[in-house]
């Protein structure tokens, strides 16, 4: 009988953490979305189409929030993408101390639903999202989604 050593599980080739900064201006919203999309494609991350579209919408919403609400105190924002074997997490960090909450808004308003949308997308996908304070007094808003539904 031949004995075989078990080879430890190796990380998936697409796993890692990437971070980039951008000015807190409107043009950074599509740039961040495209940068995240291109990174996921370049790394060969096996994302379902629905998860990918939701993730890119989340990136747009989080960067938009930082541009609209934090730019005065935080002229630069950071976007981080962390990819694991079965999940992807995006976060946006700024230096503004205000910690937003996802509140039910008046349907007559034209804005104010960004975090509600982020929470809804992550919840439907089986993921999670959070707002956390940074050591420097700013905040990080992140959302983590499974690569495939039903995980």
69-103 pLDDT per residue, tens: 998 899 999 999 999 999 999 999 999 988 776 64
Kindly state the greatest CA–CA separation across the chain: 74
How far is 77 from 148, CA to CA, in rounded Å? 29
How far is 82 from 20, CA to CA, in rounded Å? 12
How far is 47 from 27, CA to CA, in rounded Å? 26
113-130 pLDDT per residue, tens: 778 899 999 999 999 999
* Res 1 pLDDT > 80: no
22-49 pLDDT per residue, tens: 999 999 999 999 999 999 999 999 999 9
């Amino acid at each position: 009988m031949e004995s075989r050593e078990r080879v430890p599980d190796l990380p998936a080739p697409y796993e890692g953490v990437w971070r980039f900064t951008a000015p807190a201006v409107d043009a950074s919203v599509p740039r961040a979305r495209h940068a995240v999309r291109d990174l996921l494609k370049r790394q060969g991350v096996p994302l379902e189409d629905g998860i990918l579209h939701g993730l890119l919408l989340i990136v747009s919403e989080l960067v938009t929030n930082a541009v609209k609400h934090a730019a005065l105190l935080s002229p630069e924002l950071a976007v981080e993408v962390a990819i694991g074997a079965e999940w992807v997490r995006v976060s946006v960090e700024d230096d503004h101390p205000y910690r937003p909450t996802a509140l039910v808004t008046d349907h007559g308003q034209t804005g104010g639903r960004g975090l509600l949308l982020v929470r809804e997308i992550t919840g439907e996908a089986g993921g999670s999202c959070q707002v956390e304070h940074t050591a420097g007094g700013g905040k990080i808003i992140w959302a983590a989604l499974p690569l495939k539904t039903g995980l």
